[in-house]
Amino acid sequence: MGTGVGIGVIGAGVMGADHARLAAGHVRGGHLAAVADADQARARFVAEKYGAALAADAHALIADPEVDAVLVASPDATHAEYVTACLQAGKPVLCEKPMAPTAEAALQLVEAEAAAGRHLIRVGFMRRFDPAYQQMRDALAAGTLGAALLFHCAHRNASSASGFTAVNSVTGAAVHELDIVRWLFDTEVAAVTALQSLAKPGGMQRDPLMLIVETAGGVLVDIEVFVNCVYGYDIRAELVCTEGTMDLKRPAPSEIRHAGQQARAFPPDWRGRFEDAYRLQLNAWVANLGRKDAPGASAWDGYVASAVSAAGVRSLASGEREEVLLAPKPDFYA
Ligand code: ISE
């Protein structure tokens, strides 16, 4: 039996297993208490690997008195149900994005949390904990580069799962940039225009995409989303300010010199690229359970991310610039 906060992980797939690994061995003041998955064999494998209890199902895990806080990493369509159950049980929950399938459903969770009167929900926008994005935010706060003007982003995945659509490129991939823009520039997104490259023969339709994002604060953002770029997982960003620019630093893997070339491997996916961010997010969550000023994304941020990506999805369909429609922010999040 571990000490400190007992963490229950719902979902033992790729992301859940990785969160379980971190919760089991890399969280100060917390330990992995239990694991649940709709696939019991998968849950058992992860629970046994890390010495945690195997829960009969997600709701049993939430009810387990040994579980003090719940991490939801199950399939997207199940998130809202488990977050609601955590609110009802009065347990803090860190939910992988998206918090809910639509902006409307996300708003219902915001309202339910505000009605319960406790800051129990955090959303897993882990890039807010990435040291490289933090450095950019610090540079902006220090003012050395002057005022921000432009932000160029590229989000490239080596390949995407079959059935992955342009809508998923916006709601599942670019949503990370859409969140980081709000966090970095401390402003809302006003409008999104989605443009598609027409040059690529065959393959997934509408890949790559380009999103033009206008912020209320005036910073203009472009996001390339290319989910079948073949060569590796590559996240880039350049900040352009009135007195200088800054590139998003990339983790530096070992350099290989071979056959007349010098190379550095790309991580195959986001788990490697954002390893530090996931670990720091989990530690910050456990250290600040229930606190309004906890670092990371709140339920309100989760709702806004959904509303902004909804504007991107509308633009995919209309081919037009789409404004972001936001409900009034409850005082609870002020
Ligand atoms: C994936 O679901 C993630 O959340 C990753 O962070 C993102 O980079 C990737 O594009 C998504 O498919």
The string of pLDDT tens digits covering residues 222-237 is 999 999 999 999 999 9
Pick from 253, 302, 291: nearest CA to 275:
253
Q: What is the pLDDT of residue 201?
A: 62
DSSP-assigned beta bridge partners for residue 30: 5
Tell me which residue has its CA closest to atom 9 in ligand 1. Answer: 173
Residue 268 tokens read as 């195959």
> Which residues 6+ apart lie within 8 Å of 323 measured at CB?
190, 191, 311
pLDDT, mean over the chain: 95
Tell me which residue has its CA closest to atom 5 in ligand 1. Answer: 270
Query: CA–CA distance from 9 to each of 49, 61, 180, 280, 291 (Å)?
Result: 14, 8, 25, 17, 21
Query: CA–CA distance from 273 to each of 132, 146, 159, 247, 249 (Å)?
Result: 11, 29, 15, 16, 11
Tell me which residue has its CA closest to atom 3 in ligand 1. Answer: 173
Q: Mutate which of 74, 176, 248 to test ligand 1's pocket (most atoms within 8 Å of Cβ)?
A: 176
pLDDT 10s digits, 177-211:
999 999 999 999 999 999 987 766 665 568 999 99
CB within 6 Å of ligand 1 — which residues? Answer: 157, 172-173, 176, 270
Q: What is the pLDDT of residue 197?
A: 78
User: Ligand 1 center to residue 65 CA distance, Å?
Assistant: 32
Q: What is the mean pLDDT of residues 138-161?
A: 96
Q: What is the mean pLDDT of residues 49-75?
A: 98
Strand, helix or coil for residue 42: helix
Strand, helix or coil for residue 112: helix
Q: Give dist(CA 117, CA 132) in Å, integer.
A: 34
Q: What is the pLDDT of residue 205?
A: 67
Q: What is the pLDDT of residue 267?
A: 87
Q: How many Å separate Cα 118 from the centre of its chain?
A: 22
Lowest mean pLDDT among 4-13, 94-103, 245-254: 245-254
What percentage of the chain carries pLDDT values higher than 70?
Answer: 98
User: Ligand 1 center to residue 51 CA distance, Å?
Assistant: 28
Bridging pattern class, strands 30-36 and 53-54: parallel
User: Ligand 1 center to residue 50 CA distance, Å?
Assistant: 25
* Domains contained in the chain, CATH given: 5-126+277-298 (3.40.50.720), 128-268+306-333 (3.30.360.10)
Q: What is the mean pLDDT of residues 312-331?
A: 96
User: Ligand 1 center to residue 320 CA distance, Å?
Assistant: 25
Q: What is the band of 250 on the pLDDT scale with cuts at 50, 70, 90?
A: confident
